[in-house]
Structure 1
Amino acid sequence: MKLERDAFEEHFRNYRKYLRTEIHRFCDSASVYRQISERTQDHLDELNLAPAFFSTVEDTLFTTIVLWADKLFDERGERGLFNFLTFIEYNRDWMTTAELQRRRGYPDDHWMLQGRIPITAKSIEEDRAKIRSLEALKSIRIRRDKFHGHFDKDYFFDRSRLQNEAPLHWKDLNEAAQVMGTMLNDYSVDFDGEMFSWTTMNIDDLRHLLRAAKRGRHRNAD
């Protein structure tokens, strides 16, 4: 739906704020999930001090990863990246370089205004194609439909089918996060020049915790 300028700007800021939150939820979940997995290589004994806790956290994080990727990439979703792109498509008159200059009060020779590529229906469709081309998309949908969102009777009793038919690798999660974050940042910069980092804060907390547990375990052994 085409909005008036003020209504568009308010809706864009709100949409950006909440998309940023949900993209971070995906990125942070994937990052911590990987941390737990990798710590089995160098801190397995410490993880085994609380195996039920770490197993539950790991399973919960993976479910979050699948569900949030599915929601953010759902073409029919009422909110998510496809819906966001449609919102931009209808209101791209308010996403021009001139509008960026007005919002930020940039002088005519400001570097942010130089060589900007206009947003067009074609460029928006190319962004849709980037999402559709993700190799992991099929696996995410299968896992969501057959297990994490609903219990399919066949997959419920044969969990190995998910791994065989819907594999997910670290590179898949990285690529999904890259598409999410880059897409929101691209339109955010076109709107008012703002860009976000998707790095998980305090990601080394788990390593520090397990190192402390290892030192404590060794002291107790002595």
Structure 2
Amino acid sequence: MPARRAQRCGCGRGVFGLIDWTTPLRRPAALKNFQDAPVSPGVTSPQSCTSPFSPFPISPGNAVGSWADAMESPSAKKFKCGDKLLMKYSYTANEDSPLDQPELNVCQQDYIEFVCFHADNQLWSRVCNANGKEGYVPTDYLMIVEEQVNSLPWLPKSAEVQQEKVEYKPYKSAYQSNMAKESSKQQYTCDICCREFNGPLPYNAHMKSKAHMEEVMLLEDNS
């Protein structure tokens, strides 16, 4: 049976570059030379890193295991003299230290001040505790104290409002006010005329009136 030919023979790339369906595509010369190149010692072969679903190999510089070597060591932290640090772990000083320098006893969550790194080994840092004692501790045990931001620095600070002192008034019973009203009513009452007045002016006018004087004279005559 003759081989089926493509619609466009020898035109473009991909399936359009096929002359027939039985002849595979020609491998690019650059890719062929790259895969056939000799592998240097200590470098993982590109074929071993090639994905089964991708025709392109992974760069030999990004082989498995190279990322761990390229990562920054946790001891390569950048501290400055005078930085406030926090101890992540406790450390007991070694009297026979190979640093030929005194070490420092510290406890976890102690606040210390960074002085400098060791001249020959940055895995050790010279610090100063709250008592003023200096010594070397492992750099991996140190952590920068992060400052808590409570407000935005570019905004103007609001003036503090002073709270006014509260003045407490003495307790006054509601019954006393009612009793005062009753006593005031009794004060402006004429017992002779049997009349009540709502204030001193009406009461004084009544006491000087002719009607009140007649009632007083009548009471004296009957007595």
TM value normalised by structure 2: 0.18
In terms of fraction of residues, the more strand-rich structure is 2
Q: Which has the larger radius of gyration?
A: 2
In terms of fraction of residues, the more helix-rich structure is 1
